Amino acid sequence: MTVVLRELLGDSTKLSVLEELIERWGEPLTVDEIASISEVPVDVARDHLRELEAIGIVVASDEKYTLNKRDERAKALQILENEEYVRIAENSLKS
């Protein structure tokens, strides 16, 4: 999915933050964890998470963030993530 989103949106720190939430679907993460994993400064990760929360794709609880499982866009991102893994696996079998 990383490849698909990067092809569409280009490299961005917001995309890096979003990728970590997609890859860890349902796993609540703190701002510090997300920043560390995505290699984004904490203040930048916090700003992106606030923006993503404001549009409803991310939810926060007890200072931990996850994708909003009720949001159709989040569900679509999860489907893309799964499809990307299948595509990569199929390509590696062909090699």
34-67 confidence digits (pLDDT tens): 999 999 999 999 999 999 999 999 999 999 999 9
Angstrom CA distances, 86 to 1, 2, 66, 81, stand at 10, 13, 23, 9
- What are 89's two structure tokens? 């696996």
Which sequence spans correspond to the domains of the chain?
Answer: 2-94
**Nearest-angstrom CA–CA distance, 43 and 35:** 8
Q: At what angle do helices 13-23 and 2-9 cross, to 10 degrees?
A: 160
User: pTM to 2 decimals?
Assistant: 0.77
Distance in angstroms (rounded) separating the CA atoms of residues 31 and 42: 7
Structure tokens at 83: 């499809």
**What class, spelled out in words, does domain 2-94 have in CATH?**
mainly alpha
